[in-house]
Amino acid sequence: MSDQTGNFAGKVILITGGTGNIGLATASRLAGMGAAIALLDLDEGRLAEACKGLGTQDTLAKGYVCNVTSVEDVHKTINAIISDFGKIDFLFNNAGYQGSFAPLHTYPEDDFARVMQINVCGAFNVMKAVSEHMVSRRFGRIVNTASMAGVQGPPNMAAYAASKFAIVGLTQTASKDLAPYNIRVNAISPAFMGPGFMWDRQVELQASAGSQYFSTDPEEVSRQMINSVPMRRYGDINEIPGVVAFLLGEDSSYMTGVNLPIAGGIL
């Protein structure tokens, strides 16, 4: 995207869930636009590999191992990033966990708690710590990864749906709380994204859940999901970073508290 190179020159972005498909694709896009990248994830080896692929003589990329569910770990990591880069301009709050697939009455309680701890408490921990820094500078742009599961609750995904509904609400409240400090907070809601591990996992687990909504045959589940999308295809991971860049950039300067579907026409 040569016409976009340099749009974010001089900006520093923190991306959580940085070595996952969405995080890494977004990091690559924003690095190409001139941003310095701080990647946050749990796997030191994957972080090192990801940063090796992102960093150039013009773009700095550095990885940080951090458990977003730990308030202490988050604050320590945010302080390290600010020390290394001097500031944080943008946050792509993207770390998450999909959880189990089961109807509500059999959904495992421990997994529900884990999903909420990572997806909701983790997102809050990072956003709170980063926003403290942004408030002191009176500037910031935040994009949270929600999901169409947080717009229309899907069957067999009680924890994930609840966590993503929470992210939409958290985005709306944070946008109001932070607006006086020139900080915009928006969200994206991807629907079915593929191909790859997450698509295959969702298809297989919906098939095995044994509900009236999907076949028990994964191939048929795949067709059922695709046929529920007006555009009749799943989205490509690389269709997400441009939307994130738009929400971080000044083309969206009068937008805050918005949740943008990336969903092929599902509303």
Give the model confidence (pLDDT) of 91-105 as tens digits: 999 999 999 999 999
Residue 83: exposure state from Cβ atoms within 10 A (0-12, 13-18, ≥19): exposed
The structural domains of the chain, ordered by start, are: 2-193+236-262 (3.40.50.720)
pTM of the model: 0.95
| Average pLDDT for the chain | 95
Distance CA 157, CA 232 (A): 22
Give the model confidence (pLDDT) of 117-140 as tens digits: 999 999 999 999 999 999 999 999
Q: Which of 97, 107, 160, 181 is catalytic?
A: 160
Over range 199-222, report the average pLDDT.
97
| Nearest residue to 142 (alpha-carbon basis) of 22, 247, 6, 62 | 247
Active-site residue 160, yes or no?
yes
